[in-house]
Structures are given as C-alpha cells and as structure tokens.
C-alpha cells in the first residue's frame, strides 16, 4: 500500500463526482479531494446511470493521484441484515484500489473496516447524524474516525464549540441540495416508494417520480403516485423530495411548504467564518449533477477558498442559477431562528 | 413473545399523561413500558417531574420500566439530559443517540429504534458494548428482520419491532409545528400540545399523507402487524412494541394480546382495532418490503 | 408506450410547410450521427442498460419535427418524426434547441434547466435520468463529434449555432 494521503491542509475542497468524466472535471477545476461511490446500494446516491464500476474507479484514482488530488469512497448507507457482504466487498475494493478514505455511517461497516482494513482512513458520513461532541467522540474512540461530516443543522458558534471538544477534523457542506431531515434518520422515501434512503441509497428515486404538465403550463410533480408539489407556469421548480413538498394542514388549508421551500445551501459568504471556527474541509453536494455543475461550482469555490487563504475577500461568482428552486439559503449556519 | 408500550411521542398535558399511565399500569397486558421524552428536549422538563411517580405506579403493577433517551442530541440541555439519564442504574435505559452510547460506556443498555441497528454486524458490535436488547428500525422488511433476529438470538440480545402506531419517518433540527404557526423552535409556546395525535398534512389533492409532531414526521396511517404477529416469535423476535396513539390504548393492547395468545384470529383482531381507531387506516408495507403506507393482505403470501 | 402528448406551440413556418420531405432528407444524416456516437462511446450504453430499448423523443421547441432516439447498442435508432401528433414514446425531453444542444455538449446543467422550467421532461423519469447521466459521462463534445462528421461545413454550422447561443 502507498503512503497515506496528506489531509493536513485546512480549507480542503471536497467535490462530488457522479461519473468518471465528472471526477476528471472536478480534479481539473481545482478539487483537493473528490468523493464518489459504486453502482450499488453501498452509497447514498444510488441513482440510475450514475457512479463507478471497479475499472472506472481504478482509472479515476490513478487520474486524481497523478494530479495530487485525493479520492474518497462513500460507503455511507446502512446494510440491511443479510446483505452485509455487499458492503464488505466494497470495503475490500476500496482498500485494493487505494482510495484515500471511506465515508461510513453504519457502526457495523465502521467496525469491519477498522478491524479488517486498518490502513484505510475513515470519515464519518453526515448519514451517521453525529451532531454532538459525545456522539462524534464515540466514533473516534471506537473506530478511529479521522473526520466527521457535520449535519447541516448547526450554527457557526456551535461548530466552533464542537471543534474544541473532539479529536478529529470537521467537514461541512457549503453548497448544494439542502436536506431538511436529519440524514440517516429519514424513511420518508421508503414510506411512499418502498425504496429506502438508508438501505438502498435513494431519495425520491427517479423510477417513482412523474412530472405532469397541465393545460395551463403548470407542472405537477409526483412521487409514488402522491402529489408532492404543483408549480405555476413561471414558478421555478425543485426536486420532488417529500421534505420540499407543499401540503395543507388544518389551519393552513391553502397549502404551504410544511418543511422547507425548494432552496439550496450556499455558504460562500461564510467561508472565512467557517475556517475561523475550525472547519477543516468544505464539501460541495451534487454527485447526481452534471459536469457543467461540477466545473462551475468547483471553479468558483476554488477561487473563493484560495482568496480566503490569502486573506483576501473572495469574489463570489453567482451560482444561484444552479440551485434548486433557484433560491439560496444559509440554512441553520447563520441563525438559530432557522430551527 | 411479549408486548411492550413504546415511549409517548406526543406532548400531552400532564393530567392526560398521568391518567394514561395509570390506566396502562392497571389494565394493559404489556410487560414493559418505555418512559421518557424522546422527541423534543423543550418538552422534557414537564415530563421528567412526573416520571418518578409513573415509575412507582407502573412497577407496583408489575410492569418493567425502561427509560428512553432523546433521539436528537445537539444542544447543551440535550447533552446534559442524555448524560444524566445514562448515570441511572436502578432502571434499564433505551438509548436513541450515539451520545448516549459514549456516556453509557460498556454498561448494560437497550438500543432504541433511532440508533439504526440494521444488521448483524452492527448488532454484534452493540452487544459487545453492553446492549442487551435492540428495537429495530420500523422500515426494516421481514427478510432483514429475520436475519437480524437470528443474529441477536445467538448473542442473547432481545429483539423488538413496532407492531402498532404511526411510523416514525424522520426527525429534524427544525420544529414543523412551530413553522406551521409562523414561529421558531425557541419561541414555539408548545403549540404541539394542541395535536395529541400529531398535526395532519395532506397533499395538494387532499390526500392525508403525514403527521407532524414537533421536530418529528410520522405516517398518517398506523402500522398494524396483527396478521404477522403469530410468525414473529419463530423469527426470533422477543418483543412487539405498541406506540401510544390518541386512542384507547388499553383496548389496543388487549386486541394484540388476544391475537398473540391465539384467542381471536387476526381478522377479528383487525375488525376490533378498526373500531377502536376510527378514521385511521392501517399499513404494513414496510414489513413486506413494499411502500410503507400500503396494506398488503397476506392470505395469499402468508408463508 | 405511454404518453401521447398534446401538440405544443411551435414556429409558425412549420405550419405552412409539409415536413415529411425534410424528415426524409434528414434520416440518413441522423442515422450516421448515432452510429458514430455508438462507435466512439461504447461505455455510454452500459449506463443506460435498462433503457436500451426505450423510445425517447427529443423535442426542440423551434423545430418542425421531433427526434426519436432508441439507444440500442446493436441497432441504434435516431430519426426525425412528425410532431403532430407525436408518436408513442417512453420519455419526452423538450426545450429550446440551443438549450438541448448545450446540454448534449455538457455546457449546461440539466437539473438547473429543469429548475428554471426551460427544460420539460415527461414519461419515464428514470429513463431520462439514465440518459442524462450516460451522456454526461461522455468525454469531449458530442456536438463537436457530430459536426466533425460533416467536415468544414459541419464545423461552421456548429460554430454559428454556438455563437447564437452565447450570451
């Protein structure tokens, strides 16, 4: 096995790669690290036509390593009993192909890798929902986790406080789709479709999604036959995820976004504060997005992180066109009132 | 197989909670009662004051009492509440967050449904760390439950599955009860107290679909596994969990007890349950590996 | 096999001209294009494996005809079909011509075009997502490959189109 990769530089940009072409695009656009998954239920973006075969991952690791970039493999779903072998095989392949770390959520998977592949670095996925110093320390203490990806529910002062009490690096999401539920604790998709986010790696699977245009140019998005939202002709649309749907409650008969509107996270303006709070790595969401998205978002954040590192004010490219509903939010990071 | 009563997910008034657990103590054929606020740490102080009296009442009636911990631990008060609960030795605790696992160390505990014990490797790990009993996630299908339960049996770990009540589908940092009323979580004024069985949400087509319970999202329909009950023991399941809903839970427990004991058949049980839970439909899709909301009739595939 | 769509508004000239001769003229060209893509990007077909027999309709709002794609690696099909009515299909992708070109070229993000409502999809969503992901993994530009197929005139046409779409 090669020498372990160097993860020591703060401000690491961790970028999504849904396909080998997207991985090369991310590396070329300045990603320090890319993350990806196999074409199966072992990762939380198990979408049709996406992800990597073994030969593709092998070639992609070589491409990234030759350019000084690191590759993380997402093994961040929860194996249902009886199917653990699939995750076991994925971990063995990750070790063999010399990925630089695995991103895990399940305790059984974490323990398996810690015991069977002790040279393989572990990151704790956001799917593990570790949102307190105690929870994070549990995974560090028992499985040797080196980095935690924090749930998108904490304010910057809270992140700073957590950093004081944990022995590992912190990675936070800075851009992309903004899930509302605690990750790894959501069975909404499973309830409506029979396919599980935790066990199958899907969220609103495309096979259960339909879009219908009405005579007036309105758009109805459905999941498993249930109407999730209706968009007027000039209204921007979002993914048909249950937590971004419009519903009626007894005192809200007109219908409202009960959980959240279709918006995306964009923390470009908070980068200096996040670095000041002790965040080590910045994660961009979007393995299901195109090369075009990867090129634009990674390029913009590469320039922004470099500017912050140099003590300059980042020139923030307008990324709003790439966001869901074409609206941005700073979510929980800016204020407790989000809760 | 034994029946248990899971922790109350809703913010009921103190009077109502007291009456409820008194009746459970005297009349419900359940062996174990889980007590404690699992969903919202803001509600917890109300509940905690009453818990010693409830424990006394329930244990006097011969029930085993297990104290359940919060599912979400983020704020200081949540961390302290979890640490405090984990110091308790005189009662069993059910842990719902990894923060609790750290505090509990290797001492005996139960694993709650929010800890994601999905597979044999995880259960094996947890058993090695002191877990004596595991409540599986509600979405696990029968095939996976069977493998998990066999593994647990080998380790001497008890296995529990939810057989009645709304499916717990998600938790969030945001309070959707407060949001629905234009408030924030810090300024919620406990509006969730107005919805003792959750706040219903319907789709744009008027189809009831979900229930909001503070930071939690639940199913509209109740999980109901009466037909499946008789086969569960053979799979290695040791306990069947009834979740408290705003219905006559003593009557619900009797229906399950009678079906479990073979004194009435599942169809009759279901007819009685429908009469108790007027206006609510039943689901068993998760168990059958289908969309959770569905209700699969098993005459054809009972094997 | 599912969605028979209602006619959509389109450029006025198409209503005046019979489109059948135009389509007949295009067929050999389109067939050459798809064979070339199939030969140069065999990996693409693995990503759409479950949908190699699916019928996709690509409808550019300004064009008087629609394009029918069946990504079968053994017998790839790409042809012009009438718009009114559209033939039966599994999935339909509809938008301004320049947007569709830019998507195929990897210059525009499909999700973003969907959020903005410029891109309309209907029918089998999973088939569309698979096709999108398969196309997105193609290195380089399919549009450029296609233009190259026709030598200097093809490249001139593509350059002209790209200039039209530039902001």
Render pLDDT for A78-114 as a digit per residue (tens, 0 to 9): 999 999 999 999 999 999 999 999 999 999 999 999 9
Chain A positions touching C3 (Cβ under 8 A) are: none
Render pLDDT for A274-314 as a digit per residue (tens, 0 to 9): 999 999 999 999 999 999 999 999 999 999 999 988 888 87
Q: β-strand A169-177 against A264-266: which pairing, if any?
A: antiparallel
C93, β-bridge pairs = C58, C121
Q: Report the alpha-carbon distance of residue B290 to residue B143 in Å, rounded.
A: 12
Q: Judged by CB atoms within 8 Å, which residues 220-279 of B form the interface with A?
A: none
Q: What pLDDT does B297 receive?
A: 87
Average per-residue pLDDT in chain C? 83
B303 touches chain A (CB under 8 A): no
User: Taking CB atoms and an 8 Å limit, are A106 and B116 in contact across chains?
Assistant: yes
The upper half-sphere exposure of residue C109, i.e. CA atoms within 13 Å in the direction of its Cβ, equals: 24
Structure tokens at C124: 């089998």
Sign for the pseudo-dihedral over CA of B23, B25, B31, B36: positive
Q: What pLDDT does B193 receive?
A: 96
A touches which chains (3+ CB pairs under 8 A)? B, C
Q: What pLDDT does C150 receive?
A: 80
User: Taking CB atoms and an 8 Å limit, are A326 and C128 in contact across chains?
Assistant: no
Chain B positions touching A256 (Cβ under 8 A) are: 180
Structure tokens at A91: 């971990």
Tell me the CATH number for domain B2-165+224-275.
3.20.20.60
Per the model's pLDDT, the better-predicted residue between B179 and C33 turns out to be: B179
Option in A226, A228, A259 nearest B176 (CB): A259
Q: Where are the beta strands (DSSP E) in A126-196?
A: 147-149, 169-177
Residue C140: which pLDDT band, with cuts at 50, 70 and 90?
confident
Q: Report the alpha-carbon distance of residue A236 to residue A264 in Å, rounded.
A: 13
Residues of chain B with pLDDT under 50: 300-303
Residue A2: which pLDDT band, with cuts at 50, 70 and 90?
low
Please give the share of chain B, as a percent, with pLDDT higher than 90: 94
Q: Judged by CB atoms within 8 Å, which residues 237-266 of A form the interface with B?
A: 242-243, 245-252, 255-256, 258-260
Which residues of A have a CB under 8 Å from any CB of C? 18-22, 24, 47-50, 53, 205-207, 209-213, 215, 219, 231, 233-239, 262, 288-293, 296, 321-326
Residue of A nearest to B124 (CA): A108
Q: Judged by CB atoms within 8 Å, which residues 86-115 of A form the interface with B?
A: 105-109, 111-112
pLDDT at C107 over 80: yes
Burial letters for A163-189: b for 16+ Cβ neighbours within 10 Å, e otherwise? beebebbbbbbbbbbbbbbbbbbbbbb
User: Taking CB atoms and an 8 Å limit, are C122 and A236 in contact across chains?
Assistant: no
* pTM (global) more than 0.80: yes
Render pLDDT for C51-96 as a digit per residue (tens, 0 to 9): 999 999 999 999 999 999 999 988 999 999 999 899 999 999 999 9
Q: What pLDDT does C18 receive?
A: 65
Chain A closest-CA separation from residue B280 CA (Å): 16
Q: What pLDDT does A224 receive?
A: 96
DSSP secondary structure letters along chain C: ---PPPP----HHHHHS--HHHHHHHHHHHHHHHHHHHHH-THHHHHTGGGTT--EEEEETTSSEEEEEE--SSS-EEEEEESSSPPP-SEEEEE-HHHHHHHHTT-S-HHHHHHTTSSEEEE-HHHHHHHHHHHHTS-S-HHHHHHHHTHHHHHHHHHHHHHHH--
pLDDT at C3 over 60: no
Chains C and B touch, contact meaning at least 3 pairs of CB atoms under 8 angstroms apart: no
Sign for the pseudo-dihedral over CA of A179, A182, A184, A186: negative
Coil, helix or strand at residue A119: coil
User: Poorest-confidence range of A58-62, A186-190, A330-334?
Assistant: A330-334
Option in C109, C116, C128 nearest A293 (CB): C109
The upper half-sphere exposure of residue B26, i.e. CA atoms within 13 Å in the direction of its Cβ, equals: 5
A78 touches chain B (CB under 8 A): yes
Fold of C17-139: Nonspecific Lipid-transfer Protein; Chain A (3.30.1050)
Which domains does chain A possess?
Answer: 12-178+263-338 (3.20.20.70), 188-257 (no CATH)
Option in A21, A207, A290 nearest C109 (CB): A290
Which residues of C have a CB under 8 Å from any CB of A? 6, 46-48, 50, 106-112, 114-117, 120-122, 124-126, 128-134, 136-139
Q: Report the alpha-carbon distance of residue B28 to residue A58 in Å, rounded.
A: 60
Chain A positions touching B209 (Cβ under 8 A) are: 192, 226, 247
User: Taking CB atoms and an 8 Å limit, are A48 and C120 in contact across chains?
Assistant: no
Chain B positions touching A255 (Cβ under 8 A) are: 204
Domain regions of chain C by residue span: 17-139
User: Taking CB atoms and an 8 Å limit, are A49 and C131 in contact across chains?
Assistant: yes
Coil, helix or strand at residue B21: helix
What average pLDDT does range C7-25 have in this prediction?
60
Per the annotation, binding residues of B for [4Fe-4S] cluster are 40, 175, 188, 192
User: Taking CB atoms and an 8 Å limit, are A181 and B170 in contact across chains?
Assistant: yes
Option in A142, A190, A227 nearest B204 (CB): A227
- Residue appearing with tokens 């009972």: B302
Q: What pLDDT does A311 receive?
A: 87
Residue C2: which pLDDT band, with cuts at 50, 70 and 90?
very low
Q: What pLDDT does C53 receive?
A: 96
Residue A239: which pLDDT band, with cuts at 50, 70 and 90?
confident
Please give the share of chain A, as a percent, with pLDDT higher than 70: 98
Chain A positions touching C130 (Cβ under 8 A) are: 48-49, 206
User: Taking CB atoms and an 8 Å limit, are B119 and A84 in contact across chains?
Assistant: yes
User: Taking CB atoms and an 8 Å limit, are A250 and B200 in contact across chains?
Assistant: yes
Contact B231, B28 (CB under 8 A): no
Average per-residue pLDDT in chain A? 93
Chain B positions touching A198 (Cβ under 8 A) are: 116, 118, 137, 139
DSSP structural state of residue A235: S
Per the model's pLDDT, the better-predicted residue between C139 and B277 turns out to be: B277
Chain A positions touching C126 (Cβ under 8 A) are: 48, 205-207, 209
pLDDT at C126 over 60: yes
Chain A positions touching C112 (Cβ under 8 A) are: 293, 321-323, 326
pLDDT at C10 over 60: no
Q: What pLDDT does A298 receive?
A: 96
A192 touches chain B (CB under 8 A): yes
**ipTM of model:** 0.96
Q: What pLDDT does C4 receive?
A: 39
Residue of A nearest to C6 (CA): A215
Q: What pLDDT does C8 receive?
A: 43
User: Taking CB atoms and an 8 Å limit, are B204 and A246 in contact across chains?
Assistant: yes
Q: β-strand A70-75 against A33-36: which pairing, if any?
A: parallel
pLDDT at A214 over 70: yes
Contact C106, A291 (CB under 8 A): yes
Option in A107, A196, A332 nearest B122 (CB): A107
Residue A317: which pLDDT band, with cuts at 50, 70 and 90?
low
Please give the share of chain A, as a percent, with pLDDT higher than 90: 80
């Amino acid at each position: 096995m090669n020498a372990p990769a160097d993860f020591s530089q703060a401000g690491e940009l961790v970028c999504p790669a849904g396909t080998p072409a997207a991985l090369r695009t991310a590396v070329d656009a300045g990603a320090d690290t890319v993350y990806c998954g196999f074409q199966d239920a072992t990762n939380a973006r198990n979408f049709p036509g996406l992800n990597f075969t073994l030969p593709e991952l092998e070639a992609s690791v070589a491409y990234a390593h030759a350019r000084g970039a690191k590759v993380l493999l997402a093994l961040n779903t929860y194996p249902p009993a009886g199917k653990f072998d699939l995750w076991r095989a994925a971990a063995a392949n990750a070790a063999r192909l010399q990925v630089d770390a695995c991103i895990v959520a399940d305790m059984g998977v974490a323990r398996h890798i810690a015991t069977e592949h002790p040279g393989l670095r572990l990151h704790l996925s956001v799917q593990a929902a570790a949102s307190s110093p105690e929870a994070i320390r549990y995974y560090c203490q028992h499985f040797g986790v080196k980095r935690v990806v924090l749930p998108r529910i904490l304010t910057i002062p809270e992140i700073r406080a957590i950093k004081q009490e944990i022995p590992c690096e912190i990675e936070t999401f800075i851009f992309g789709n903004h899930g509302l539920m605690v990750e790894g604790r959501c069975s909404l998709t499973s309830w409506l479709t029979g396919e599980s986010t935790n066990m199958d790696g899907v969220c609103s699977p495309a096979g259960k999604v339909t879009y219908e245009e009405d005579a007036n140019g309105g758009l109805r998005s459905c999941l498993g036959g249930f109407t999730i939202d209706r968009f007027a002709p000039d209204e921007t649309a979002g993914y048909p995820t249950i937590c971004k749907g419009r519903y009626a409650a007894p005192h809200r008969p007109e219908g409202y976004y009960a959980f959240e509107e279709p918006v995306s996270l964009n923390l470009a303006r908070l980068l200096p504060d996040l670095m000041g709070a002790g965040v080590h790595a910045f994660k961009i969401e979007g393995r299901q997005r195109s090369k075009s998205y990867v090129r634009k978002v990674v390029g913009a954040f590469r320039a922004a992180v470099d500017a912050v590192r140099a003590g300059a004010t980042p020139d923030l490219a307008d990324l709003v066109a790439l966001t869901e509903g074409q609206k941005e939010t700073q979510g929980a990071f800016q204020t407790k009132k989000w809760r | 197989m034994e029946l248990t009563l899971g922790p109350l997910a809703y913010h009921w008034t103190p009077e109502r909670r007291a009456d409820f657990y008194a009746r459970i103590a005297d009349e419900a054929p359940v062996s174990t009662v889980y007590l404690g606020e699992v969903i919202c740490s803001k509600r917890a102080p109300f509940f905690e004051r009453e818990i010693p009296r409830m424990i006394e009442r329930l244990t006097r009636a011969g029930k085993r009492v297990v104290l359940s911990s919060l599912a979400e631990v983020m704020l200081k008060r949540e961390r302290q509440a979890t640490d405090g609960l984990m110091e308790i030795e005189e009662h069993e605790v059910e842990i719902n967050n990894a923060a609790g696992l750290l505090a509990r160390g290797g001492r005996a505990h139960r694993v709650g449904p929010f800890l994601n014990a999905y597979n044999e490797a995880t259960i094996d790990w947890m058993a090695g760390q002191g877990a004596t009993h595991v409540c599986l996630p509600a979405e696990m299908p029968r095939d996976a439950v069977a493998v998990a339960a066999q593994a647990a049996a080998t380790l001497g770990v008890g296995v529990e599955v939810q057989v009645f009540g709304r499916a717990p589908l998600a938790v969030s940092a945001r309070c959707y009860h407060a949001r629905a009323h234009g408030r924030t979580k810090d300024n919620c004024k406990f509006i969730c107290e107005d919805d003792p069985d959750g706040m219903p949400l319907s789709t744009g087509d008027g189809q009831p679909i979900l229930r909001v319970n503070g930071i939690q999202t639940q199913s509209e329909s109740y999980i109901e596994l009466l037909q499946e009950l008789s086969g569960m023991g053979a799979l290695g399941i040791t306990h069947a969990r009834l979740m408290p809903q705003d219905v006559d839970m003593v009557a619900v427990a009797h229906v399950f007890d009678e079906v479990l004991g073979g004194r009435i058949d599942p169809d009759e049980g279901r007819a009685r349950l429908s009469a108790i839970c007027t206006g609510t439909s039943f689901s068993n899709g998760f168990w059958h590996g289908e969309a959770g909301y569905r209700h699969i009739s098993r005459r054809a595939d009972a094997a | 096999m599912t969605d028979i769509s209602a006619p959509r508004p389109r450029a006025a000239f198409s209503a005046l001209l019979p489109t059948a001769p135009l389509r007949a003229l295009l067929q050999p060209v389109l067939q050459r294009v798809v064979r070339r893509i199939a030969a140069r990007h065999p990996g693409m077909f693995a990503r759409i494996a479950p949908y190699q027999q699916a019928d996709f309709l690509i409808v550019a709002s300004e064009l008087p005809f629609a394009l029918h794609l069946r990504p079968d690696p053994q017998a790839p099909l790409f042809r012009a079909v009438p718009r009114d009515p559209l033939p039966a299909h599994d999935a339909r992708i509809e938008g301004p011509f320049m947007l569709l070109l830019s998507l195929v070229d990897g210059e525009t993000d499909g999700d973003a075009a969907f959020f903005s409502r410029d891109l309309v999809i209907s029918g089998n969503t999973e088939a569309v997502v698979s096709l999108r992901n398969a196309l997105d993994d193609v290195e380089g530009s399919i549009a450029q490959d296609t233009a190259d197929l026709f030598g200097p005139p093809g490249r001139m046409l593509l350059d002209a189109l790209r200039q039209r779409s530039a902001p």
